[in-house]
């Protein structure tokens, strides 16, 4: 019991790509001694709590077994035994206190964990969600001091180059050193915001805050104020007449376009950075994308392999799943890699992830296996290309949003991904072809494939609509009469 619970606690760290120090010597110049000590102490207390609190609960006992109940909406909820739940809650509260005390990268870690509804125990996600919108804030005096220094003098200022984070990433220290300083450069964030707004301007439901460059520096970024509800706040959407399925579908379109078509990916879509709002005049629902400090730029070869892998996953083409998973560094762990990408069981991957909705039993299986396969997950994360690491984080956060909105069973996200993969691969093939005939053939094949997806989507819509039921009944009667 204690061993399995500890795996869940370890998963909370692994899911965010954190490695708690290991055997590496920590230089006090790179890491605050107080913060390091606080983190080590918190980790020790949590570990001790799991070991001592659960030592007398034997595996397979009545207390250990999960209790299942059916809620009013027919969705199966799984509750762990009371004792385990209490330990989870105490541990989550300690993690939240640690994040608030240490701030910086710890806050980002807590925000990530708070979004993983589909993966972590509910006690963790519920406790850490407050960091999405109620993270510790700088005092007015601290903000005014920065503004005075950067905007109030005719002087050159030293650029802060202190290495972050206070935790060492399991997904390689080099990635943290490369990416986190970019997040601290507000001019870089402003440029990213304008780039993605231009890149995705065809999506009229997307809002990106305008940047006021004349009042911005590396440490001060002045942008347009935008407000709304968090993208995982289902109650807010229902209260304001916002269709959760439309929001989930549009969010999938945004990220599919960024990942597969453009290769320029916003890598921090936790619910505090993605807001939704309904325009009172037009009645249109918008997605507001904030915090543009961290983007992943995908190489063309990586992007094409990733596109083809997703095409194989959607088609349940296991030979190609194995081929492109191996090309992306998964090796013999390609089944685990496929499950991590899709957040589905291996059985569902083999059957076709768009063919069957996520069931309650499969959801339990995914949560259990995530803890059981932690060593293999760690090995896999160390083997895949560096570009894959932030994509996995992005995937985690998007799946968490879908879980909170109860839209994970929808096939629309996979259809949108299919469209983007087809467009991306076709564009790449045309760019490499010197034959007019070949380019025309590629374009016709692309158009046919997109048309087939549209037709399939229409079929799904008809199947679920009253009109579809009438058509099916009418055709059935016609068949029997003949």
Query: Active-site positions?
Result: 268
- Ramachandran class of 158: left when φ > 0, alpha when ψ lies in -120 to 50, beta otherwise: beta
Closest by alpha carbon to 418, among 274, 297, 317?
317
Our measurement of the distance from residue 144's CA atom to the centroid of its chain's CA atoms, rounded to an integer in Å, reads: 34
Q: How far apart are CA 125 and CA 147, in angstroms?
A: 35
Q: Which stretches within 54-170 are classed as H helix?
A: 82-102, 105-114, 122-128, 140-151
Phi, psi of 443, rounded to the nearest 5 degrees: -65, -40
Name, in order, each residue with C-beta under 8 angstroms of 340's C-beta and a sequence gap of 6 or more. Answer: 377, 380, 392, 395
Q: Angle at CA 443, nearest 5°, toward 439 and 446?
A: 140
Tokens of 121: 């125990």
At 18, give phi and psi (nearest 5°). Answer: -105, 140
Length of the chain: 482
Q: What six digits make up the tokens of 303?
A: 């992007």
Q: Residue 11 has which token pair?
A: 């998963």
Tokens 């125990």 found at: 121
Q: Phi then psi for 283, rounded to 5 degrees?
A: 80, 5
DSSP 166: S
Residue pair 232/401 in contact by the 8 Å Cβ criterion: yes
107 and 73 in contact (C-beta within 8 Å)? no
- Residue 53's nearest CA partner among 7, 88, 14 is 88
Strands 285-289 and 274-278: antiparallel
């Amino acid at each position: 019991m204690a061993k399995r619970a500890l795996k869940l606690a370890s998963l909370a760290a692994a899911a965010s790509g954190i490695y708690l120090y290991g055997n590496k010597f920590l230089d006090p110049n790179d890491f605050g001694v107080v913060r390091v000590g606080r983190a080590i102490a918190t980790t020790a207390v949590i570990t001790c709590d799991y070991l001592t609190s659960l030592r007398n609960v034997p595996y397979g006992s009545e207390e250990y077994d999960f209790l299942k109940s059916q809620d009013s909406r027919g969705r199966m909820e799984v509750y762990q035994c009371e004792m385990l739940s209490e330990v989870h809650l105490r541990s989550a509260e300690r993690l939240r206190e640690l994040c608030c005390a240490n701030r910086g990268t710890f806050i980002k870690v807590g925000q990530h964990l708070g979004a993983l509804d589909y993966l972590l125990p509910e006690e963790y996600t519920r406790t850490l969600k407050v960091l999405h919108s109620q993270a510790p804030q700088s005092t007015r005096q601290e903000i005014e001091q920065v503004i005075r220094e950067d905007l109030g003098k005719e002087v050159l200022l030293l650029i802060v180059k202190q290495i972050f984070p206070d935790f060492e990433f399991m997904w390689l220290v080099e990635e943290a050193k490369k990416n986190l300083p970019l997040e601290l450069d507000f001019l870089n964030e402003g440029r990213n915001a304008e780039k993605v707004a231009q890149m995705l301007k065809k999506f009229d439901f997307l809002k990106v805050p305008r940047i006021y460059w004349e009042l911005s520096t590396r440490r001060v970024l002045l942008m347009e104020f935008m407000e709304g509800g968090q993208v995982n706040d289902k109650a807010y959407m229902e209260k304001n007449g916002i269709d959760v399925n439309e929001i989930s579908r549009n969010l999938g379109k945004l990220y599919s376009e960024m990942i597969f078509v453009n290769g320029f990916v916003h890598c921090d879509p936790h619910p505090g950075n993605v807001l939704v709002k309904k325009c009172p005049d037009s009645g249109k629902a918008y997605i507001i994308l904030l915090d543009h400090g961290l983007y992943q730029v995908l190489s063309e070869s990586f992007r094409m392999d990733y596109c083809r892998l997703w095409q194989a996953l959607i088609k349940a083409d296991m030979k190609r799943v194995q081929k492109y998973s191996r090309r992306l560094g998964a090796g013999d762990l390609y089944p685990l890699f496929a499950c991590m990408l899709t957040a589905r069981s291996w059985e569902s991957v083999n059957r076709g992830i768009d063919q069957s909705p996520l069931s309650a039993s499969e959801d339990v299986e995914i949560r259990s296996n995530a803890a059981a396969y932690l060593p293999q997950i760690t090995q896999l994360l160390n083997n895949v290309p560096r570009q894959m690491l932030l994509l996995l984080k992005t995937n985690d956060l998007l799946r968490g949003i879908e879980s909170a909105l109860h839209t994970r069973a929808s096939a629309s996200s996979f259809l949108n991904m299919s469209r983007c993969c087809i467009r991306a691969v076709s564009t790449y093939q045309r760019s490499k072809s010197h034959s007019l005939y070949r380019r025309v053939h590629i374009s016709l094949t692309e158009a046919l494939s997109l048309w087939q997806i549209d037709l399939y989507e229409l079929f799904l819509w008809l199947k679920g609509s009253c009109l579809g039921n009438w058509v099916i009944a009418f055709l059935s009667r016609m068949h029997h009469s003949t």
